[in-house]
A and B are shown apart, each in its own frame.
Chain A
Amino acid sequence: MGRYIARRFIWMLLVLFVVSVITFVLMHAIPGGPFDREKSLPKEIMENLNARYHLDEPLPMQYARYVYDVMIPHITTKPPSNSLQDDHLININLGGVWVKWMNFGPSYSSRSRTVNDIFRQQLPVSAQLGVMALMVALLIGIPLGVLAALKQNTIWDYLGMSVAIFGVSVPVIVLGPILIWLFGVTLKWLPPTGWGAKPPYFLGIFPTNPGIEFFKYAIMPSVALGMGSSAIIARLTRASLLQVIREDYIRTARAKGLAERVVITRHALKNALIPVVTVLGPMFAALVTGTFVTELIFGIPGMGKYFVVSITNRDYPVIMGTILLYVVFLVIANLIVDILYGVLDPRIRYT
Chain B
Amino acid sequence: MMHKRWTMVAAVLVVASLILTACPSPTPEVVKEVVKETVVVEKEVVKEVVVTPTPVPRKVLRLNMGPGDIPTIDPALSTDTSSVQIVELTTVGLTRQNEETTAIEPGMATSWDISEDGLTYTFYIREGVPWVKYDATKDQVVQVLDCNGNPRIVNAYDFQYGILRTLDPKTASDYAYVLAFAIQGADLYNSGEITDTAQVGVTVVDTYTLQITFKEPAAYNANIAGMWVAHAQPKWLIEGDECTEARGDRWTETGFFQGYGPYTLKEWIHDASITLIKNPFWPGIDSVPQAKIEEITWSMLDEVPAFAEYEAGNLDSAAVPLADIDRVKADPVLSQELKIAPVLCTYYYGFNTKAPVVDDVRVRRALSMAIDRQSLIDNVLKGGQEPAQWFSRPGLAGAPTMETHPDLGVKYNPEEAKKLLDEYLQEKGLTADQLDLTLMFNTASAHQKIAEAIQQMWKDVLGINVKLTNQEWKVYLETIRSPEATPQIWRLGWCQDYPDANNFVREVFSKGGSANPREGGGVNWENPKFEELVVQAAREQDPAKRVELYAQAEQILVWEDAVIAPIYWYTRVTVTKPYVQRTYSVLGGLEHIEKWDIVQ
Q: B475, A30: Cβ atoms under 8 Å?
A: yes
Q: How far in angstroms is the closest Cβ of chain B from A280?
A: 25
A104 within 8 A of B: no
B231 within 8 A of A: no
Q: B170, A312: Cβ atoms under 8 Å?
A: no
Q: Knowing A41-B177, A44-B191 are in contact, say whether A112-B74 is a contact too (CB < 8 A).
A: yes
Q: Knowing A44-B191, A192-B308 are in contact, say whether A32-B478 is a contact too (CB < 8 A).
A: yes
A322 within 8 A of B: no
How many of chain B's residues have a CB under 8 angstroms from any CB in A?
A: 62
Q: B474, A309: Cβ atoms under 8 Å?
A: no
A201 to B428 alpha-carbon distance, docked (Å) = 72
Across-interface contacts of A305 in B (CB, < 8 A): 68, 271
Q: B68, A40: Cβ atoms under 8 Å?
A: no
Across-interface contacts of A181 in B (CB, < 8 A): 308
Q: B514, A40: Cβ atoms under 8 Å?
A: yes
Q: How far in angstroms is the closest Cβ of chain A from B247?
A: 5
B492 within 8 A of A: yes
* B positions within 8 Å CB-CB of A: 67-69, 71-74, 77, 79, 169-174, 176-177, 180, 187, 190-192, 245-253, 269-272, 299-302, 304-306, 308-309, 311-312, 314, 472-479, 481, 492-494, 514-515, 517
Q: How far in angstroms is the closest Cβ of chain B from A237?
A: 26
A35 to B169 alpha-carbon distance, docked (Å) = 15
A38 to B515 alpha-carbon distance, docked (Å) = 9
Q: A184, B174: Cβ atoms under 8 Å?
A: no
Q: B249, A111: Cβ atoms under 8 Å?
A: yes
A188 to B271 alpha-carbon distance, docked (Å) = 24
Across-interface contacts of B67 in A (CB, < 8 A): 296
User: In chain A, what residue has the closest Cβ to B307?
Assistant: A185
Q: A44, B180: Cβ atoms under 8 Å?
A: yes
Q: Knowing A30-B475, A49-B172, A111-B71 are in contact, say whether A184-B272 is a contact too (CB < 8 A).
A: no
Q: B191, A47: Cβ atoms under 8 Å?
A: yes
Q: B271, A314: Cβ atoms under 8 Å?
A: no
Interface centre among B172, B311, B472, B475 (most CB of A within 10 A): B172
A180 within 8 A of B: yes
Q: How far in angstroms is the closest Cβ of chain A from B588?
A: 12
How many of chain A's residues have a CB under 8 angstroms from any CB in B?
A: 58
Residues 176-191 of chain A: 1 if any B CB is under 8 Å from the residue's CB, otherwise 0?
0100110011001001
Across-interface contacts of A194 in B (CB, < 8 A): 272, 299
Q: B308, A185: Cβ atoms under 8 Å?
A: yes
Q: A51, B250: Cβ atoms under 8 Å?
A: no
A113 to B493 alpha-carbon distance, docked (Å) = 29
Q: A82, B250: Cβ atoms under 8 Å?
A: yes
A195 to B305 alpha-carbon distance, docked (Å) = 14
A93 to B517 alpha-carbon distance, docked (Å) = 52
Q: A84, B269: Cβ atoms under 8 Å?
A: no
User: In chain B, what residue has the closest Cβ to A39?
Assistant: B514
Give the contacts of A22-56 with B (CB-CB under 8 A). Answer: 30-33, 35-42, 44-45, 47-49, 51-53
Q: A299, B300: Cβ atoms under 8 Å?
A: yes
A244 to B252 alpha-carbon distance, docked (Å) = 60
Q: A51, B169: Cβ atoms under 8 Å?
A: yes
A305 to B492 alpha-carbon distance, docked (Å) = 25
Q: A31, B474: Cβ atoms under 8 Å?
A: yes
Q: Knowing A84-B250, A301-B269 are in contact, say whether A314-B312 is a contact too (CB < 8 A).
A: no
A107 to B77 alpha-carbon distance, docked (Å) = 13
A36 to B474 alpha-carbon distance, docked (Å) = 7
Across-interface contacts of B494 in A (CB, < 8 A): 38-39
Q: A112, B249: Cβ atoms under 8 Å?
A: yes
Q: How far in angstroms is the closest Cβ of chain B from A174?
A: 12
A278 within 8 A of B: no
User: In chain B, what residue has the closest Cβ to A53?
Assistant: B172
Q: B474, A193: Cβ atoms under 8 Å?
A: no
Across-interface contacts of A113 in B (CB, < 8 A): 270
Q: A312, B473: Cβ atoms under 8 Å?
A: yes
A37 to B72 alpha-carbon distance, docked (Å) = 16
Interface contacts beyond A39-B494, A191-B314: sample of 16 additional A-B pairs, CB < 8 Å, sorted by A? A32-B472, A32-B473, A32-B478, A33-B474, A36-B478, A41-B177, A44-B180, A51-B172, A82-B246, A83-B248, A84-B248, A113-B270, A193-B308, A199-B269, A299-B299, A314-B474
Q: B305, A193: Cβ atoms under 8 Å?
A: yes
Residue in A84, A193, A199, A300 whose beta carbon sits within 8 Å of that of B249 in the complex: A84
Q: A193, B72: Cβ atoms under 8 Å?
A: no
Q: A299, B191: Cβ atoms under 8 Å?
A: no
Q: B474, A301: Cβ atoms under 8 Å?
A: no
Q: How far in angstroms is the closest Cβ of chain B from A8?
A: 29
Q: A184, B302: Cβ atoms under 8 Å?
A: no
A181 to B475 alpha-carbon distance, docked (Å) = 37
28 A-B residue pairs with CB within 8 Å: A30-B474, A31-B478, A32-B472, A32-B476, A33-B478, A35-B174, A37-B477, A38-B493, A41-B174, A42-B177, A44-B191, A48-B169, A51-B169, A81-B248, A110-B72, A110-B270, A111-B74, A112-B72, A112-B249, A113-B270, A177-B304, A192-B305, A193-B301, A194-B299, A297-B305, A299-B299, A299-B305, A305-B271
User: In chain B, what residue has the closest Cβ to A304?
Assistant: B271
A230 to B534 alpha-carbon distance, docked (Å) = 63
A112 to B319 alpha-carbon distance, docked (Å) = 28
Across-interface contacts of B73 in A (CB, < 8 A): 112
Across-interface contacts of B301 in A (CB, < 8 A): 193, 299
Q: How far in angstroms is the closest Cβ of chain B from A292?
A: 11
Across-interface contacts of B251 in A (CB, < 8 A): 112
Q: B190, A32: Cβ atoms under 8 Å?
A: no
Q: Knowing A38-B492, A185-B312 are in contact, say whether A52-B304 is a contact too (CB < 8 A).
A: no
Q: Knowing A33-B474, A48-B172 are in contact, say whether A198-B493 is a contact too (CB < 8 A).
A: no
A313 to B71 alpha-carbon distance, docked (Å) = 12
Q: How far in angstroms is the closest Cβ of chain B from A258?
A: 14
Q: How far in angstroms is the closest Cβ of chain B from A317?
A: 14
Q: A184, B71: Cβ atoms under 8 Å?
A: no
Interface centre among A109, A121, A193, A312 (most CB of B within 10 A): A193
Across-interface contacts of B172 in A (CB, < 8 A): 45, 48-49, 51-53
